[in-house]
Structure 1
């Protein structure tokens, strides 16, 4: 005779319903985006984090671990502290760099209808 044990069902459903980070695709394909020197990549990473349910805990964890660099929880970290802009390599620019804003909502709306034969865009504007 075979005996089947049933574990606590509440515990199993609670772990299955836990939110998943938007940056964690399981394959590491978005990792270069969150650790890039490119302004557009940094803005895209911040846009992804702004819509994530885990951004606050992600940022707090990164600050607790003193992460050396990268976008964590929608903020850019360098040497374990939040910075506004990443200093580019080379000589300082004569003019200040523009602030890039990625409109992720519009981008998602533009690619949502895959039957449409139009070209898709990533909306980037200078604030």
Structure 2
């Protein structure tokens, strides 16, 4: 892979497509396996505040399994060129969604195009997440 290419895990949470660098993913498990002191980032709470939360199927664990994301579906791994990223600027990017790095257009298995958001993996290092 060139300097501009990186592998990403693609997942769906609250009907939104997200990507996180695969190098940050330690393990993916079924939701029922959550145990210990794993701090979870729940995208339903972030993208649809006040909406009833449904149980999501998967956990994507990172930061030595001390933090992670809940996800409805894990869609696979894609190698992406960072030059294809669409930069996000204010007012789209603001204090409430500082966890986003960029957006990118992905092809679905059905041949449709969807907008996916690239996550900043550094958010996993922040211990002040209160969800």
Q: TM-score, normalised by structure 1?
A: 0.25
Which structure shows the higher strand fraction? 2
- Greater length-normalized contact order (CA 8 Å, ≥ 6 residues apart): 2
Q: TM-score, normalised by structure 2?
A: 0.24
Which structure would you say has the larger Rg? 1
Which structure shows the higher helix fraction? 1
